[in-house]
Chain A
Amino acid sequence: MASRVFGASIKRKEDPRLITGEAKYLDDLQLPGMAHAAILRSPHAHARIKSIDTSAAAAVPGVLGVFTGKDFMDVNPLPCAWQAGGVENHVNTPRVLEPEKVTFTGAGVAVVVAESRYIAEDALQLIKVNYEVLPAVVDAQKATQSGAPQIHDNAPNNVCMEWSCGDKAGTDKALGEAEVVIKERVVNQRLIPTPMETRGCIAQYLPATDEYTVWMTSQAPHVMRLLMTAFVFGIPETKMRVISPQVGGGFGAKIFLYPEYCLVTALSKKIGRPVKWAETRSENYVATTHGRDHITELEVGAKRDGTITALRVNTYANLGGILSTIAPGIPTTLYGRLLSGAYKIPNIYCHVWGVYTNTGMVDAYRGAGRPEATFVVERAVDMVANQLSMDPAEIRRKNFIPSSAFPYDPKILNGLKYDSGDYDKALGKALEMVGYQDFRKAQADARQQGRYLGIGFSSYIEMCGVAPSAWIGLPGEGWGAGLWESANVRVHLTGKVVVTSGSQSHGQGHETTTAQIVAEELGVPVEDVIVQHSDTLGTPFGYGTYGSRSASVGQVAVFNSLQKIKEKAKKLGAHLLEAAVEDVVFENGKVHVKGSPDKAKTIQELAGAAALGYSLPAGMEPFLDDTAYYDPPNCTFPFGTHICIVEVDAGTGQIDIKRYVAVDDVGKVINPMIVDGQVHGGIAQGVAQALWEGAVYDENGQLLTGSLMDYALPRADLLPSFEVGRTETPSPTNPLGVKGAGETGTIAATPAVVNAVLDALKPLGVLHIDMPMTPARVWQAIQKG
Chain B
Amino acid sequence: MKISVKINGKTVERDVDPRMLLVHFLRDELGLTGTKVGCDTSQCGSCTVHLNGEALKSCTFFAVQADGAEITTIEGLAANGSLHPMQEGFWEKHGLQCGYCTPGMIMASVAFLKKHAHPTEEDIRHGLEGNLCRCTGYHNIVAAVKAASEKMGG
A-side contacts of B137, CB under 8 Å: 680-685, 714, 719, 722, 745
The answer to whether B136 and A680 have CB atoms under 8 Å apart is yes
Distance in Å from the Cβ of B105 to the closest Cβ of chain A? 10
From residue 16 to 44 of chain A, which have CB atoms closer than 8 A to chain B? 16, 18-25, 27-28, 30
The answer to whether A677 and B94 have CB atoms under 8 Å apart is yes
Q: How far is the CA of A245 from the CA of B152 in the complex (A)?
A: 34
The answer to whether A196 and B125 have CB atoms under 8 Å apart is no
Q: A194 near B134 (CB under 8 angstroms)?
A: yes
CA distance A246 to B34 in the complex (A): 12
Please, which residue of chain A has its CB at the minimum distance from the CB of B123? A717
B139 partner residues in chain A, CB cutoff 8 A: 677, 680, 719, 721-722
Q: Is A50 an interface residue (CB 8 A)?
A: no
Query: A196 touching B40 by the CB < 8 A rule?
Result: no
Interface 1/0s, chain B 16-58, versus A by CB < 8 A?
A: 0101100000011001111111111101101000000000000
Nearest to A284 among chain B residues (CB) is B39
Cα separation A683 to B39 with both chains bound (whole Å): 23
CB-CB under 8 A from B90, the residues of chain A are 15, 19
Residue of A nearest to B75 (CB): A21
Residue in A20, A194, A684, A685 whose Cβ sees the most chain B Cβ within 10 Å? A20
Distance between A223 CB and nearest chain B CB, rounded to angstroms: 20
Structural contact, A20 and B134, CB atoms closer than 8 A: no
Interchain CB contact under 8 A, A681 and B100? no
B91 pairs with A713, CB closer than 8 A: no
Does A195 lie at the interface of the complex (its beta carbon under 8 Å from any beta carbon of B)?
yes
Chief secondary structure at chain A's binding surface? loop
Shortest distance from the beta carbon of A110 to any chain B beta carbon, whole Å: 20
Residues of A within 8 A of B34 (CB): 20-22
Chain B, interface residues (CB within 8 Å), range: 35 or more
A507 with B125: CB separation less than 8 A: no
In the complex the two chains form, what is the Cα distance from A555 to B103 in whole Å? Answer: 30
A678 to B94, CA, bound (A): 11
Considering only CB atoms, which chain B residue lies closest to A715 in the complex? Answer: B129
Does A197 sit at the interface, judged by CB under 8 A?
Answer: yes
Give CA–CA (A498, B136) in the complex, Å: 29
Q: Per-residue 0/1 for A668-689: is the Cβ within 8 Å of any B Cβ (1 yes, 0 no)?
A: 0000011011101111110000
Interface flag for A387 (CB, 8 Å):
no
Complex interface: chain B residues within 8 A of A507 (CB)? 97-99, 135
Query: Are B33 and A282 closer than 8 Å at their CB atoms?
Result: no
Contacts A15-B90, A196-B101; A707 near B44 (Cβ below 8 A): no
User: Is A506 interfacial (CB-CB < 8 Å)?
Assistant: yes
Q: Which residues of A have CB within 8 Å of B122?
A: 717
A708 cross-chain contacts in B, Cβ below 8 A: 39, 41, 43-44, 132
Q: Which residue of B lies closest to A246 (CB)?
A: B99
- The reply to whether the CB of B74 lies closer than 8 angstroms to some CB of chain A is yes
Residues of B within 8 A of A14 (CB): 99
A439–B113 CA distance with the chains assembled, in angstroms: 36
B33 x A251 contact (CB < 8 A): no
Q: Any chain A CB within 8 A of the CB of B117?
A: no
Are A716 and B99 CB-contacts (below 8 A) given A677-B140, A721-B142?
no
Interface core residue of A21, A251, A683 (most chain B CB under 10 Å): A21
**What chain A residues lie within 8 Å of B132 (beta carbons)?**
196, 708, 713, 715
> Which A702-732 residues sit within 8 Å CB-CB of chain B?
707-709, 713-717, 719, 721-722
Who on chain A is nearest to B133 by CB? A196
Closest-by-CB residue of B relative to A724 is B139
B64 within 8 A of A: no
Asked if A118 CB lies within 8 Å of chain B CBs, one says: yes
B3 to chain A, nearest CB (A): 17
Q: How far is the CA of A11 from the CA of B94 in the complex (A)?
A: 7
- Residue ID in chain B nearest A20 by CB atoms: B78
Q: Which of B50-86 contact A (CB under 8 A)?
A: 73-75, 77-78, 83
Q: Are A196 and B142 in touch, CB under 8 angstroms? A: no
Q: Which residues in B have their C-beta under 8 angstroms from that of A680?
A: 136-140
How far apart sit A14 and B136, CA to CA, in the bound complex (Å)?
Answer: 16
Per CB-CB distance, the 10 closest pairs between chain A and chain B, nearest first, are: A21-B34, A248-B100, A684-B137, A18-B99, A507-B98, A21-B74, A507-B97, A28-B33, A708-B43, A680-B137
A sample of 24 cross-chain residue pairs with beta-carbon separation below 8 angstroms, ordered by A number, consists of A12-B94, A15-B91, A15-B96, A16-B91, A19-B96, A19-B106, A20-B74, A21-B75, A27-B27, A195-B98, A196-B38, A196-B134, A281-B44, A507-B99, A507-B135, A509-B97, A681-B97, A682-B137, A685-B137, A714-B138, A716-B128, A716-B141, A716-B142, A717-B126
Mark B residues whose CB is within 8 Å of A: 17, 19-20, 27-28, 31-41, 43-44, 46, 73-75, 77-78, 83, 87, 90-92, 94, 96-103, 106, 121-122, 124-126, 128-129, 131-142
Please name 5 further chain A to chain B contacts, defined as beta carbons within 8 Å, in addition to the given A27-B33, A249-B135, sorted by A numbering: A19-B83, A21-B35, A197-B100, A707-B39, A716-B138
